[in-house]
Structure 1
Amino acid sequence: MKPLSLLLGLLLFVSCANAKKGSNELSGDSPISEEIETLSGEYQIITLKEENISSEDIYLKIDDKGESLMINAGCNVLRVDFIQVKDRISFQPPVSTKMYCEGKMTYENTLNLILPDISEIQSSEDNLVFLSKENEVQLTVRKNKKSE
């Protein structure tokens, strides 16, 4: 158990170090229609890819500094470091626990795949929409009013 804890700690350390390296990728000169505030707080996931999963009550929690998020989709906890500059965002590969939960891993597997491909955030009504590099909607979230 101790080697597993050390390995997980090392992965988190390396992930944090790599997050700082990616910040230069986000300082593009693209025009911004509406500036997105720095993300923080708790958000409910409304859609994942094109599937409405609002009834699943899956939340992502973003730290106060707007540098990392945690998601628990019912089994494992995913932790992801990211860098946000206005409406541009870059996620590092997620780090997660590795438990097996029958029938509860579909959403977290999808999140593991799509988060590193997300590159932009747009505001739409009360929601934030996360877009891939190909400009496809990957994730839609709504800020939990209690976390404001």
Structure 2
Amino acid sequence: MKKMIFILSLILFVSCGENEKKEKTTDKAENTEKPTEEIKTSLSELRNQTGSYKIIKLANKDLGTEEILLEFDGDSQKISGNLGCNDFVSAFKLTEDRVKFDPPIGTKMFCEGKMKNEESLGEILPKITRAKINEEELVFLSKDNEVLLSLEKTEQSE
């Protein structure tokens, strides 16, 4: 009788262990993340994008109707403009296919109701790590490929 209880206990113990392994394997398969798309933009590609751009998207806000223009200078590696109140400039560097913006510097005026876009730009520029170029659009992304800043080239650009 003791042997029978021992064998049944052993079978029960082993079968519970197998179920646990299956659950872990299933959990791993469900939690597997897709590899992020590798986006490579060279310095020469960014240098060719010099010109005036309209902000289409800033953080999660659509600004396509607001006609806010920025100057992107690929040769001197800086972006500048005015988001409704203060002028700003920010330098960037491209190393090993990564874009890194310096915090923006600019004038310090207060404009009632017009500071939100400036605050957003100051928050997102340090988060930008990648750039993607699509025809007339220049898109800056986070390390997780989230669109942080989307710019559309204007007609006055050369």
Q: TM-score, normalised by structure 2?
A: 0.66
**Distance in 2 of aligned mates of 1:54 and 1:73:** 13
Give the C-alpha shift of residue 117 in structure 1. 1.1
Q: Which residue number corresponds to residue 35 of structure 2?
A: none
The root-mean-square deviation of aligned C-alpha atoms, in Å, is: 2.3
**Distance in 1 of aligned mates of 2:91 and 2:135:** 26
Overall identity of the aligned pairs, in %: 41
Q: Which residue number corresponds to residue 89 of structure 1?
A: 99
Give the C-alpha shift of residue 126 in structure 1. 2.9
2:80 paired residue among 70, 88, 97:
70
Give the C-alpha shift of residue 67 in structure 1. 1.4
1:127 aligns with 2:131: no
1:16-71 per-position Cα deviation (integer Å, ceiling 9, x unaligned): xxxxxxxxxxxxxxx65675342311111001122211111111112362411112
Q: Rg bigger for which structure?
A: 2
Do the aligned residues in 2 keep the contact of 1:37 with 1:86 (CA within 8 Å)? no
1:93–1:33 Cα change, 3 Å: closer
**One-letter amino acid matched to 1:54:** G
- Where does 1:18-33 land on structure 2 (aligned, <5 Å)? none
Say which SS state the counterpart of residue 65 (structure 2) adopts.
helix
Q: Which residue number corresponds to residue 142 of structure 1?
A: 152
1:53 aligns with 2:102: no
1:40 aligns with 2:50: yes
Do the aligned residues in 2 keep the contact of 1:40 with 1:66 (CA within 8 Å)? no
1:99 paired residue among 98, 109, 128:
109
Matched residues, number: 119
Of residues 50-59 and 77-86 in structure 1, the stretch that sits farther from structure 2 once superposed is 77-86
Do the aligned residues in 1 keep the contact of 2:83 with 2:118 (CA within 8 Å)? yes
Q: TM-score, normalised by structure 1?
A: 0.70
1:60–1:86 Cα change, 3 Å: farther
Do the aligned residues in 2 keep the contact of 1:47 with 1:140 (CA within 8 Å)? yes
